[in-house]
Chains A and B, each alone.
Chain A
Amino acid sequence: MENFDKKVKEKLLSYPTSELPAESELMKMMSMLDEALPTEKGSVTIDSEAKPSFSIKIFYKLAASISFLFIAFYSVLLLNDVSIEATEIAVKTVKLPDGSQVNMKDGASIKYNKLLWLFNRDLTFEGVGFFEVEKGEKFSVHSMLGSTQVLGTSFTIISNQTKYEVGCLTGKVSVTSKSTGENVLLLPGDGIVLNKAIFKVIKLERLGEPSWVSGEFYFEDESFDNVISILQDQYSVEISYPKEVEKLKYTGYFDNKDLKKALKLVCEPLELEYNFDGKKIKLSALN
């Protein structure tokens, strides 16, 4: 007998307990409750449609908070977007959050996100720039035609629609072509020119900061029109000169700090004189 009882008991107690009430039973229960334990509102407000709305409400709340978080996060990201353009000033120095420096030439632009910078030293650059990168995690510069990755070094970039030129001054620089995916490692003194078709390493002629960063320009037998165009660039002035002086070669030096001094330094060895004509400058032979 005992055994039979035990077995029946075991079986009966193992009856599944996962059954859910039918809607009709639930409604019956609710109306019984309304009768026996009335509330001010009753269960009128939570009739047949209230049951799904219980979980749907949570779902909406969840969806709302997730999208709110997403929007908040995205706007914080946008607020941290930094975009700098070097316009009027000949050389603009930009300090990045990690202490790295970018010297940008007239017309160059740089874009990065202050917040994302904490995780990834990543920036977009167009134009001409000289980079001095603090040691640390990978530092990446993205341009139209290629991208450059370094750890800590200094290098120059010239990027425009047709050309991408990188020169490595110290450390190691890795340059990747956007179109072909080709990758080249530059050692100090190496440079690379990249356009849509070619990808070739060149030896840099001169090591050190490019002259437009220091603002000092040294010339040796440089053609006269080259010298004048640099002078015009540095001071944003217009210089005119007679045809016969075009063939002259210039050896010498000037910097971008004092226009009159620079003009003097260029004119004297070539026996020229300069005259201001409003904003324009006229060069003529000394008599």
Chain B
Amino acid sequence: MKNFRLYLKKYMKDEVKLLVKGCKTNDRNAQRVFYSIFYGYAMSICLRYSNSRADAEEIINDGFLKVFSKIEIFDSDLEIKFWMKRIFINTAIDHFRKNKKHYYQDDIEEASAVSSKDEDVLDRLSAEEITKLVQSLAPSYQIVFNLYVIEGYKHHEIADLLGISEGTSKSNLSMARERLKRAIIQNEY
């Protein structure tokens, strides 16, 4: 059984390599299959960088277009998923920067005291439910939260990427945390 799993893994890897090869030659069928296979993966990333499914779909398609345009320079020995992830995150950042002027900055509210109950509640929520709550965050909080907490960027990197100051990045992060915790507790009741 273990051998079979190893075999399956290798088989899948070889299949993906073939697909990548096809995509490098701009073969529509390969691109179609590649898109269908990795769509779910792209969705799992892009949902948390958007406020709605429609937004996520837009980021996904723009991201895939970049993937297909740049796949020629992709080194086939590397893991395609990690390479794609960076492209999708960059696409999400582009979207944020493009729409930034439309986003109004929330007044910094007094962070209300939040009990430690939130962590127990968190355990009971599914990935889909948490994603929904992250989606409900204002874009400027959401993107900083994602880049810092999920992707592991530093504040000065985030400031560079988004064209904001380091201080804004920090305060947006703490605001994002507060909002998220409140949303988690509200979700409970």
A residues 50-67 near B (Cβ < 8 Å) are: 50-51, 54
0/1 string, B52-95, CB within 8 A of A gives 1: 00000100110011001100000000000000000000000000
Residues of B within 8 A of A7 (CB): 119, 122-123
Q: Which of A9, A15, A21, A39 contacts B26 (CB 8 A)?
A: A39
Q: Which of B35, B44, B123, B130 contacts A21 (CB 8 A)?
A: B35
Q: Which of A15, A21, A50 contacts B36 (CB 8 A)?
A: A21
A39 to B181, CA, bound (A): 49
Residues of A within 8 A of B118 (CB): 4
Q: How far is the CB of B143 from chain A (nearest CB, A)?
A: 14
Residues of B within 8 A of A17 (CB): 40-41, 43-44
- Taking a contact as CB atoms under 8 Å apart, the answer to whether B127 and A26 are in contact is no
Q: How far is the CB of A38 from chain B (nearest CB, A)?
A: 9
- Taking a contact as CB atoms under 8 Å apart, the answer to whether A37 and B122 are in contact is no
Report the interface size for chain B: residues with CB under 8 A from the other chain: 39
Does B168 make an interface contact (CB < 8 A)? Answer: no
Residues of A within 8 A of B39 (CB): 19-21, 25
Residues of A within 8 A of B61 (CB): 25, 28-29, 32
**Chain A, interface size: which category?**
35 or more
- Taking a contact as CB atoms under 8 Å apart, the answer to whether A8 and B130 are in contact is yes
A271 to B177, CA, bound (A): 132
Q: How far is the CB of B107 from chain A (nearest CB, A)?
A: 23
A3 to B116, CA, bound (A): 11
- Taking a contact as CB atoms under 8 Å apart, the answer to whether A12 and B131 are in contact is yes
- Given A25-B57, A29-B64, A54-B29, answer yes or no on A36-B69 (Cβ-Cβ < 8 Å): yes
A residues 1-17 near B (Cβ < 8 Å) are: 1, 3-5, 7-9, 11-17
- Taking a contact as CB atoms under 8 Å apart, the answer to whether B32 and A4 are in contact is no
Task: Give the interface centre of B32, B36, B128 by most chain A CB atoms within 10 Å.
Answer: B32
Does B158 make an interface contact (CB < 8 A)? Answer: no
- Which secondary structure dominates where chain A touches chain B? helix
Does B161 make an interface contact (CB < 8 A)? Answer: no
A11 to B122, CA, bound (A): 9
Residues of B within 8 A of A21 (CB): 35-36, 39
Does B48 make an interface contact (CB < 8 A)? Answer: yes
Residues of A within 8 A of B177 (CB): 1, 4-5
Q: Which of A3, A18, A25, A33 contacts B31 (CB 8 A)?
A: A33
A21 to B56, CA, bound (A): 12
B residues 1-46 near A (Cβ < 8 Å) are: 26-29, 31-33, 35-36, 39-41, 43-44
- Taking a contact as CB atoms under 8 Å apart, the answer to whether A33 and B36 are in contact is no
Does B125 make an interface contact (CB < 8 A)? Answer: yes
Residues of B within 8 A of A160 (CB): none
> Which chain B residue has the least Cβ–Cβ distance from A41?
B28
Q: List 25 A-B contacts (CB under 8 A).
A: A7-B122, A8-B130, A8-B149, A8-B150, A9-B149, A11-B122, A11-B127, A12-B48, A12-B127, A12-B130, A12-B131, A14-B127, A15-B48, A16-B40, A17-B40, A17-B41, A17-B44, A20-B40, A21-B35, A25-B61, A26-B36, A37-B69, A39-B26, A39-B27, A46-B29
